[in-house]
Amino acid sequence: MNLKHVETIARELNIKPLQVTATAKLIAEGGTVPFIARYRKEATGLLDEVAITGIRDGMLRLAQLDDRREAILKSLDERKLLTDELKEKIEKALTMNVLEDLFAPYRPKRRTRAIIAREKGLEPLADFIEQNQTSGAVDPAVEAATYVKTDVPDEQKVASVEEALSGARDIIAERVSDHAEARAAIRKLTKENGTVSSKVMFGKEEDKDAAKFRDYFDWSESLKSIPSHRLLAIRRGEKEGFVMMRISVPEADSLRILEALFVKGNTSCSKQIKEAVQEGFKRLLAPSMETEARLESKKKADAEAVKVFADNLRELLLSAPLGQKRVMGVDPGFRSGCKIVCLDAQGKLLHNDIIYLLGEGSGLLHAKTLIHNLIERFKIEAVAIGNGTASRETELFFNKIGLPKHVSIIMVNESGASIYSASEVAREEFPDHDLTVRGSVSIARRLMDPLAELVKLDPKSIGVGQYQHDVDQTLLKDSLDDVVMSSVNAVGVEVNTASKQLLSYVSGLNQSLAANIVAYRNENGPFKSRDELKKIPRLGDKAFEQAAGFLRIRGATNPLDASAVHPERYDLLNRMAGDLSCDIGALLGNEDIRKRLDLKKYVSDEVGLPTLQDIVSELAKPGRDPRKQFEMFKFAEGVEKPEDLRVGMKLPGIVTNVTAFGAFVDIGVHQDGLVHVSQIADHFVKDASEVVKVQQKVQVTVTEVDLDRKRIALSMKMNPDFEKKKQGGGGGSPQGNRPTQGNRSFSSGGSSSGGGGGGDWFSAAVTKAKK
């Protein structure tokens, strides 16, 4: 790796060059971020996944810079324009902007006004004017007269002195615009003092579809401080044709900088230069800087929005699993009925049925009897109810029919379940069942293990981001894939039960190898050891090295196969056990024996104390799940739809999405409410993610309800700010700022089962709800 790049990355990440070099080498050898972070701590100097990812991405970025540098040098050399001085500057360029600025004067251009002036032979006049700025005795008009020529073809004709001077100024203006130092100075000024503004498009003021962008019909804000969500909202309004956006380059300050660089003295020639500088700025440099600023600000906003999405996704994927329980999954519905499935503790579909909750008497009695029979027959331990249409009514039904006390009733987010049910993955898994059965299975499995089920979805369909369709899609995909991979490997994967989708995210594996593992398992039965993985077609030594530590085989002959201890350290563990005169099982199960280990005795060139400490920690709880313990949750009774809300109500809720401007919270009314960042805490909060995370259980106060616009404003303050004392009015996020939520934002929650009942009470509740 280029030493210059090592130093650049080390400086950017504030780490040692040796750490960058070692990590880059491991990556170049095929190491994945989770593997390097977990099993190569001594080599990297204890770098975490964030730093290792930064090195990986930095290597890629600088490789792209080198590719562009090589292309520029080749272009200049082929056109005989490459001087030793220019080559040295290009080779020292550390950013793409600097590189492109150096290339700007030599870049092949379309036929500009400067090119036309050169074709007319006016470049020597431009040189003359530049070289004689300090000479008061020189009159550029006299020199320009020598360039007047009328008896030539039209494309070479210069009709007057003014036309000659104008052409010379065009050439000088382009030189100003292409000047590397000038561009760098105006770029910096724009970054620090530029302004983003937006105006409504003519004739769109009353367009109902433009209403969500009304805040931006006459908006102005500093480029440096504009939040990512606001910039993306304005850009979306521009894309949809409702507003027009400008990034203004400070003109007066820019001209002062440029005139200081190019204008010398106060002569007739310097006045021509000054006029050329002003023309070059307004016609060439300012538009160029605006284009750059638009690209750079979009890039920055994309990065911030993608980080929000990635952070939310990580919290969601690592949310607490219910675990291996026998679960009934319920996809609620009114007229179409509630689709019911029963799964065993491994998530295998055992039975599916349907119940109808509309109607009276015998219909509801049949539904109650069927549920009781299914729960007894399949020994159901929990009921997972999707949180879509009719979810609260369905929850009420299950709470009232007298289920056994050990059966928990839990609300589960079903966002994306319909996408899964129609996917190739679902069709392959359940070829003999329709979409409704597949969706119910997905709801139940999300409760059992959110990570294992959600990896089957495109992360973008989960809906825990902001402006996800507006950001750079490649950046978004790469970032979310990193999060899924990191989460999967942090938890570990049981190789004998995992789907191929889950296996494909294991370090060192891919979709093809994951499919081969499942095929081998189906043909030969469960894996008995990690070593058996080497029999998988196309799974070579490198893939085994990267994957083995993250794969678990419970019940294996070697108990270490169910732990996060890597097989490459098994000999070391055997040596430890031998030194203590015990077997591996005793080392795993007996803390007193482990305390007798003198770890310093086992330090070597390959294994240091960090790895040894990890091993001992793993021996204490082999194969432990790092996710939190599952906790029950109960929405407020009697609050089931927005119409039930009243300002001042204090309600329990679950955070479903954290954005740059606040957090969305599910309070059980089929419409998430927004806690604006100013309402998240009693102290100042700059970033909502500092206080709340996706899936966090919170207490909120209703501060506004706008039924017409379907907006609910909430507060987490001890003493909330009530902008309005009665229902109605505004609320929610600024128009155009609200992220795409889909039908529902991601959340999970639920309640423990309630007492008996059943009968006409439910029909009355449904009728009331539908009204």
Contacts 24+ apart (CB under 8 A), 111-118: 112/170, 112/174, 113/167, 113/170, 113/174, 114/170, 114/171, 114/173, 114/174, 116/167, 116/170, 117/167, 117/168, 117/170, 117/171, 118/171
Kindly tell me the burial class for residue 159, based on how many C-beta atoms sit within 10 Å of its own C-beta (0-12, 13-18, 19 or more). Answer: exposed
Residue 766 reports pLDDT greater than 60: no
Residue 364 reports pLDDT greater than 80: yes
Alpha-carbon distance 654 to 696, whole Å? 6
Residue 33 reports pLDDT greater than 90: yes
Residue 46 reports pLDDT greater than 90: yes
Q: 226 versus 738: which is more confidently predicted?
A: 226
What pTM value is reported for the model?
A: 0.86
CB 656 within 8 A of CB 746: yes
pLDDT at 462: 82
pLDDT band, very low/low/confident/very high, at 1 (cuts 50, 70, 90): low
Looking at 277-281, 303-307, 670-674, 743-747, which range is the least confident one?
A: 743-747
Task: Please give the C-alpha separations between residue 490 and each of 43, 201, 688, in angstroms, as whole numbers.
Answer: 20, 49, 25
- Tell me the pLDDT tens digit for each residue of 78-89: 999 999 999 999
Residue 532 reports pLDDT greater than 50: yes
pLDDT at 461: 80
Q: 130 versus 414: which is more confidently predicted?
A: 130
Residue 729 reports pLDDT greater than 80: no
Q: Can you tell me which residue has the tokens 């201890």?
A: 565
Alpha-carbon distance 497 to 3, whole Å? 46
User: What residues form DSSP beta bridges with 665?
Assistant: 655, 673
Residue 300 reports pLDDT greater than 60: yes
pLDDT at 443: 95
Residue 371 reports pLDDT greater than 70: yes
Average predicted confidence (pLDDT) for the chain: 90
Chain centre to alpha carbon of residue 657: 12
Torsion angles phi and psi, residue 14, rounded to 5: 60, 45
- Tell me the pLDDT tens digit for each residue of 417-466: 888 888 899 999 999 999 999 999 999 999 999 999 999 988 888 878 77
CB 147 within 8 A of CB 257: no
pLDDT band, very low/low/confident/very high, at 709 (cuts 50, 70, 90): confident
Residue 733 reports pLDDT greater than 80: no
CB 679 within 8 A of CB 721: yes
Residue 726 reports pLDDT greater than 60: no
Alpha-carbon distance 769 to 666, whole Å? 18
| 617 Cβ contact list (under 8 Å, min separation 6) | none
Alpha-carbon distance 674 to 703, whole Å? 10
Kindly tell me the burial class for residue 608, based on how many C-beta atoms sit within 10 Å of its own C-beta (0-12, 13-18, 19 or more). Answer: middle
pLDDT at 152: 86
pLDDT band, very low/low/confident/very high, at 720 (cuts 50, 70, 90): confident
Q: Which helix (H) or strand (E) holds 703?
A: strand 697-706
Alpha-carbon distance 170 to 275, whole Å? 10
pLDDT at 758: 35
Interval 182-189 mean pLDDT: 96
pLDDT at 524: 96
- Cite the DSSP H helix spans in 155-243: 161-178, 180-193, 228-239
Looking at 44-48, 294-298, 708-712, which range is the least confident one?
A: 708-712
Interval 314-330 mean pLDDT: 95
pLDDT at 8: 92
pLDDT band, very low/low/confident/very high, at 723 (cuts 50, 70, 90): low
Contacts 24+ apart (CB under 8 A), 561-564: 561/529, 561/530, 562/622, 562/623, 563/588, 563/618, 563/619, 563/622, 563/623, 564/38, 564/492, 564/614, 564/618, 564/622, 564/623
Neighbours of 410 (CB within 10 A): 22
Torsion angles phi and psi, residue 169, rounded to 5: -65, -35
pLDDT at 102: 95
- Tell me the pLDDT tens digit for each residue of 541-554: 999 999 999 999 99
- Tell me the pLDDT tens digit for each residue of 86-127: 999 999 998 999 999 999 999 888 889 999 999 999 999 999
- Tell me the pLDDT tens digit for each residue of 565-615: 999 999 999 999 999 999 998 998 789 999 999 999 999 988 999 999 999
Percent residues over pLDDT 70 in the chain: 93
Residue 299 reports pLDDT greater than 90: yes
Looking at 266-275, 481-490, 508-517, 744-753, which range is the least confident one?
A: 744-753
pLDDT at 416: 79
